[in-house]
Amino acid sequence: MVFPKVAIMGKKPFIIHDPYFHEAKRLGYRARSVFKLLEIQEKFGIIRPTDRVLDLASAPGSFLQAITKIVRPDIPVVGIDIQKIEPFGHGNVKLLQADVNDFETIHAFIETLGITRFDVITSDIAPATTGHTGVDQYRSVELNLAIVHIADEFLKKNGTLILKVFVGEDVNDLIGPIKERYAKLKRFKPKACRDRSFEEYFICLGKK
Ligand SMILES: C[S@@+](CC[C@H](N)C(=O)[O-])C[C@H]1O[C@@H](n2cnc3c(N)ncnc32)[C@H](O)[C@@H]1O
């Protein structure tokens, strides 16, 4: 399935051959990443209509769009990213611009919302890539460790954490802490991940 189209990024027009990009646009999603979450949801059925969901690294917001279609409109959904997330037309979606390493700010924000625990935490975090695979993978592990720390505080017992990881030689630095904290770790590479990418999703089930 190929839908070549000309896109303008900066000043240079180029052709985009990515069917997920075009399908996301057609369906009104803010990013192609949504198909990764939808595949995870189809395979593992993680998010339920009554689940309070915290989505980390949300910008531009396609995961949040998908999550709001699953959860009931009276259930809180929180999105946090270091970049600004453009607002949604849903009163239950609360947004914060913050770094996942800034635990104090995140803690204070969630407290003001009156939420103590989430049922599910999702993350699609990606470090700004340097072109050096080893460095990018290491940064991905570091960011994910910050997210594991956030989940320690805000994910309920038995809750599920979904992480995006650039897998490389440092990945055991992340797998160790996950196995200490979660009953099961399932690794999954959705079809929507680009073939050459090192990314995988870690589905961490059953927080201890
Ligand atoms: C692939 S994008 C996420 C796409 C999003 N899931 C969606 O569906 O629209 C990765 C995101 O990670 C965010 N990010 C990277 N480092 C971060 C950090 N230290 N704290 C918070 N967000 C960060 C980036 O700003 C970027 O928006």
| For the CA of 99, the nearest atom of ligand 1 | 20
| For the CA of 31, the nearest atom of ligand 1 | 9
pLDDT at 6: 46
pLDDT at 196: 76
The reported pTM is: 0.93
Q: What percent of the chain has pLDDT over 70?
A: 92
pLDDT at 1: 39
| Arch. (CATH architecture) of 31-207 | 3-Layer(aba) Sandwich (3.40)
pLDDT at 11: 54
Asked if the model's pLDDT at residue 4 lies above 60, the reply is: no
| Domain spans of the chain, in order of start | 31-207
Asked if the model's pLDDT at residue 115 lies above 70, the reply is: yes
pLDDT at 12: 57
Is the Cβ atom of 160 under 6 angstroms away from ligand 1? Answer: no
Q: Which residue has the higher pLDDT, 6 or 122?
A: 122
Confidence band (pLDDT; 50, 70, 90) for 8?
Answer: very low
pLDDT at 69: 97
Is the Cβ atom of 163 under 6 angstroms away from ligand 1? Answer: no
Q: Which residue has the higher pLDDT, 42 or 3?
A: 42
Task: Tell me which residue has its CA closest to atom 5 in ligand 1.
Answer: 58
pLDDT digits over 43-100, tens only?
A: 999 999 999 999 999 999 999 999 999 999 999 999 999 999 999 889 999 999 999 9
Mean pLDDT for 124-129 is: 95
Is the Cβ atom of 34 under 6 angstroms away from ligand 1? Answer: yes
DSSP string across the chain: ----EEEEETTEEEEE--HHHHHHHHTT-S-TTHHHHHHHHHHH----TT--EEEES-TT-HHHHHHHHHS-TTS-EEEEESSPPPP-S-TTEEEEE--TT-HHHHHHHHHHTT---EEEEEE---PPP-S-HHHHHHHHHHHHHHHHHHHHHHEEEEEEEEEEEE-STTTHHHHHHHHHHEEEEEEE--TTS-TT--EEEEEEEEE-
Q: Which residue has the higher pLDDT, 1 or 122?
A: 122
pLDDT digits over 179-207, tens only?
A: 999 999 999 999 999 877 899 999 999 99
